[in-house]
Amino acid sequence: MNHLTEEQLVLAYYGDIDRDVREHLDNCQQCQAAFAREQRLLNGLPEQAIPERNENYGAEVWARIQPQLEKPRRRLWRGWWTLAPAMAALLAVAFFAGVLTERQKKTQGFSAGARDRVLLITMGNHLDRSQILLAELVNAKPGAIDFNEERTRANDLLVENRLLRLAAVRNGETSSAALLDELERVLLDVSHNPSSLSEPELEEVQGMLFKVRIIDSTIQEKRQRL
C-alpha cells in the first residue's frame, strides 16, 4: 500500500480511516512520523473562546420561547368544517368520475350542462386550494414554514387530484388531465418532503403555480359562461 495521503493523515487523527490504512500506519515509520506532526498540529488547535452562560440561562431561554409555543399540531384538532370543501369535492368527483361513468344509463337524467358545471366548480375549487398551498411554499422564508401543515394539506389535495385527473381522462379533457398529472407529482413531492424544498423543487413549485393560475382563470371564465 502507498503511504498515507494528507487527507488520510487528518482522518486518522479523528479515527475515521479504514482498517487497511490503519494497518499501514501501524507498520510504516515514515507515515508514523507524518502522523505525529499532524497530531501535534491538531492537538495544538486552541479552544474556541465561548461566552459563559450562567445557571439560570435555561430559565431565561424558556421565558423567551414560552409565549411563542403553540400546542403541538394534531390533525384531529382541525374542525370538521375545514375539511368540508375537500369532502364536498371528493363526493362530487367520486360521483361523476366513478359511479356514474360505470353506470352511464342511470346518469341520463343529468343534463350535460349540469354535469359540466359541477365538474368545473369542483375543479376550480381544487385549483384554488392548490394555488394557495403552492403560493405559501414559494413565498415562505427558509425555515419559517411549518412543513407538517403543508404536508397534510398536500395529502388531502393529492387524493382529490387523483380523482379529478381520472375524471378528466374519462371525459377526454387531455389538457386538464396533463395539468393534474403534473400537479399530482408536485403534491406528492410536497407530501413526502422531510423538512424543506431544495432549489430545483422550489423552481418546480413556482412553475406549477404559474400553470395552475392560468388554467384556474380559464376555468373561472368557463364557469361564468355556464
Partner 1 sequence: MDWTDLEAAAEARKGDQLAFRALVERHSRSVFRLAFRMTGNEQDAEDMVQETFLRAYKQLHRFDGRAAFSTWLYRIAANCSLDLLRARRTRKEQSGTAATDGDEKKTLLDTIASPAPDPERIARSGQLAEMLEPALQQLSDTERTAFVLRHYEGHDIEEIAKVLGVNKGAAKHSVFRAVQKLRRVLEPAWGTAQ
Q: Under the rule (CB under 8 A), what is the footprint of partner 1?
A: 6-7, 10-11, 14, 16, 40-42, 44-51, 53, 57-62, 64-66, 68-69, 71-73, 142-143, 146, 148
Which of 95-99's residues contact partners 24+ apart within 8 Å by CB, and which partners? 96/167, 97/163, 97/164, 97/166, 97/167, 97/170, 98/163, 98/166
Task: Collapse the DSSP code of 89 into the 3-class scheme (helix H, G, I; strand E, B; otherwise coil) and give the result.
Answer: helix
**Minimum gap (Å) between residue 173 Cβ and partner 1:** 40
* CB-based contacts of 146, cutoff 8 Å, min separation 6: 73
3-state helix, strand, coil split of the chain in percent (to 5) is: 75, 0, 25
Q: Which grid cell sits at 38?
A: 499532524
Of the pair 16, 203, the CB lying nearest partner 1 is at: 16
**Minimum gap (Å) between residue 69 Cβ and partner 1:** 6
Q: Which grid cell sits at 68?
A: 411563542
Of the pair 74, 105, the CB lying nearest partner 1 is at: 74
Of the pair 50, 112, the CB lying nearest partner 1 is at: 50
Of the pair 11, 166, the CB lying nearest partner 1 is at: 11
**Minimum gap (Å) between residue 105 Cβ and partner 1:** 49
**Minimum gap (Å) between residue 59 Cβ and partner 1:** 6
